[in-house]
Amino acid sequence: MKKHFTDDIEIKEVVLEGLKLHHGYCPCVIKGDGKSEFKCPCKDFRENTPVGKTCYCGLYIKDEI
């Protein structure tokens, strides 16, 4: 799977800071820390997000599967 960061600087900065605080786990999921499916990029993004769309947080855009 190939992906790239959003061009939205504000979203990128906020989500990356949240990832640091949550040790790489999605900061948008309550009680997601420690659960492998929420390790960024999350399972939902990897498996269910179509090419050209963003993850729930808006950090990543999927380029290809």
Residue ranges per structural domain of the chain: 2-64
Q: Note whether 57 and 15 are within 8 A (CB).
A: yes
Contact 35, 45 (CB under 8 A): no
pLDDT score of 58:
97
SS3 at position 60: strand
Please report the pLDDT score of residue 44 as a whole number: 95
SS3 26: coil
The CATH code that applies to domain 2-64 is: 3.90.460.10
Q: Is the pTM of this model over 0.95?
A: no
pLDDT digits (tens, 9 = 90+) for 11-62: 999 999 999 999 999 998 888 999 999 999 999 999 999 999 999 999 999 9
